[in-house]
């Protein structure tokens, strides 16, 4: 399906080269649309694989069993009025990349120790990637016209005025190419968090892009901890496959990962997310550096104890591990109706859920908007 979600001129050639930084859903969607419109796209991703918050985690239990978890976004929904995004999802469904997750979901009140609500099965469409949430990004990152370079983090982006192009270098200072334009879907490329984690200045110097400086100086983000659990038997005391929590200072929600379409059912696997407040408390004590195994084990124990305190019959898991999401959940949006940030004279776009709304649909809307900017301007080169 060509030109999904796009308006504007189609590409007239294949000479234009665009670098996309980040292979989460926003970067992957933007890259896919650009490639379908004749742009040569290179994705740079510091992680070993695609997905970002839609990535999938593989773990091994003590007895050697491989376990797979969607430890970030558990699913996504689309507003029916958002036709550009819905068209993409319909295309993915036809390709077997996504399926609707038809289970019961509800909310649990820690104060009353009761379920406050239980939604009817399929009352609100919830989509999941098949066989994992990262399947969508993986497919998009391997489409014709898209080259994906995993394990390559970008350390610096330089605009070359005389050459009318961008020069990119990796974290080791090696040049990785020149490009007509750049899309960054990774907000760490212009945030102080990059410095906290790497000890180096952010790849984009905001002083050189004053048009964006005020909007991008610091995007507040809400941290989370994810707890991955595997059980020998189903948790039959829980009448839903997903639940949000009310009146808990520690837990935000829990979902039965193994109940999704296309998943292995050899064990029952659950993913729980902490509240932002709990995660912030731990991070304020430990900082943003890599947490030790002992700290993560303590977090895992605390999250599981809170799960047990629901009063539901929760058996002991044979696998239990915590993961920190340090800054993956934006607490604000910065782009307004434009849905992305754009400097036309330098062909620089910034897209992501932090531009629109903090969910998968927001990330996709932002990617569509960014790709439309490029398709329009690159067709005149």
For 231-250, the pLDDT digits (tens) are 999 999 999 999 999 999 99
- How large is the average pLDDT for residues 250-254? 98
As given in the structure block, the two tokens for residue 311 are 């009063």
DSSP string, 241-310: SEEEEES-SSEEEEEEGGGSTT---SSEEEEEEE-HHHHHHHHHHH-SSPPPHHHHHHHHHHHHHHHHTT
In the chain the first and final C-alpha atoms are separated, in Å, by 25
Select from 3.50.50.60, 3.40.50.10540, 3.40.50.10310, 3.90.1150.10 the CATH code of 17-378. 3.50.50.60
Contact 128, 20 (CB under 8 A): no
Contact 33, 367 (CB under 8 A): yes
Give the span between the Cα atoms of 221 and 333, in whole angstroms.
Answer: 10
What pLDDT sits at residue 4?
42
The tokens 């080269």 sit on which residue? 17
What pLDDT sits at residue 11?
40
Sign of the CA dihedral with 149 first, then 175, 347, and 191 last: positive
At residue 220 the predicted structure's pLDDT band, cuts being 50, 70 and 90, is low
Q: Where are the domains of the chain?
A: 17-378
Model pTM score: 0.90
Is the pLDDT assigned to residue 44 strictly greater than 60? yes
Give the span between the Cα atoms of 51 and 24, in whole angstroms.
Answer: 4
Strand pairing report for 165-170 and 175-179: antiparallel
Percentage, residues of the chain above pLDDT 70? 89
Q: Determine the distance from the C-alpha atom of residue 313 to the mean position of all C-alpha atoms in its chain, rounded to a whole number.
A: 32
What pLDDT sits at residue 13?
42
At residue 2 the predicted structure's pLDDT band, cuts being 50, 70 and 90, is very low
At residue 215 the predicted structure's pLDDT band, cuts being 50, 70 and 90, is low
Give the span between the Cα atoms of 133 and 370, in whole angstroms.
Answer: 23
Is the pLDDT assigned to residue 347 strictly greater than 60? yes
The number of beta carbons lying within 10 Å of the beta carbon of residue 311 is: 11
Return the closest-CA partner of residue 368 out of 54, 31, 128: 31
Using alpha carbons, list the distances in angstroms from residue 205 to 132, 201, 318, 354: 36, 8, 47, 19
What pLDDT sits at residue 42?
99
Is the pLDDT assigned to residue 218 strictly greater than 70? no
As given in the structure block, the two tokens for residue 196 are 């906290």
Return the closest-CA partner of residue 348 out of 322, 368, 321, 377: 377
Give the span between the Cα atoms of 110 and 310, in whole angstroms.
Answer: 6
Return the closest-CA partner of residue 297 out of 317, 334, 275, 322: 322
């Amino acid at each position: 399906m060509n030109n999904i979600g796009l308006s504007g001129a189609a590409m007239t050639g294949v000479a234009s080269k665009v670098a996309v930084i980040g292979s989460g859903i926003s970067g992957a969607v933007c890259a896919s649309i650009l490639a379908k419109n004749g742009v040569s796209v290179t994705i740079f991703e510091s992680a070993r694989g695609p997905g970002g918050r839609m990535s999938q985690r593989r773990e091994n239990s003590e007895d050697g069993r491989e376990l797979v978890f969607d430890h970030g976004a558990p699913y996504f929904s689309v507003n029916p009025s958002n036709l550009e995004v819905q068209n993409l999802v319909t295309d993915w469904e036809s390709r077997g990349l996504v399926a609707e997750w038809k289970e019961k979901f509800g909310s649990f009140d820690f104060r009353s120790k009761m379920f406050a609500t239980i939604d009817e099965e399929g009352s609100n469409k919830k989509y999941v990637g098949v066989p994992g949430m990262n399947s969508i990004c993986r497919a998009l990152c391997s489409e014709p016209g898209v080259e994906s370079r995993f394990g390559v983090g970008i350390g610096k982006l330089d605009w070359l005025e005389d050459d009318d192009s961008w020069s990119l270098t990796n974290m080791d200072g090696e040049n990785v190419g020149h490009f007509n334009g750049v899309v960054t879907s990774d907000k760490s490329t212009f945030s102080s968090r990059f410095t906290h984690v790497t000890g180096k200045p952010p790849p984009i110097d905001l002083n050189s892009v004053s048009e964006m400086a005020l909007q991008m100086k610091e995007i507040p983000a809400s941290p989370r901890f994810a707890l991955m659990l595997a059980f020998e038997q189903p948790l039959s005391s829980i009448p839903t496959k997903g639940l949000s929590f009310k009146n808990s200072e520690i837990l935000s929600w829990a979902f039965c990962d193994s109940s999704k379409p296309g998943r292995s059912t050899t064990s029952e696997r659950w993913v729980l997310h902490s509240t932002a407040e709990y995660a912030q408390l731990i991070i304020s004590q430990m900082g943003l550096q890599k947490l030790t195994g002992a700290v993560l084990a303590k977090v895992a124990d605390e999250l599981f104890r809170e799960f047990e305190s629901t009063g539901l019959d929760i058996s002991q898991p044979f696998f239990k591990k915590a993961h920190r999401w340090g800054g993956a959940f934006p607490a604000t949006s910065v782009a307004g109706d434009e849905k992305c940030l754009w400097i036309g004279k330098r062909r620089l776009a910034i897209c992501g859920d932090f531009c629109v709304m903090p969910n998968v649909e927001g990330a996709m809307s932002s990617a569509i908007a960014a790709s439309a900017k490029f398709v329009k301007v690159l067709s005149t080169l």
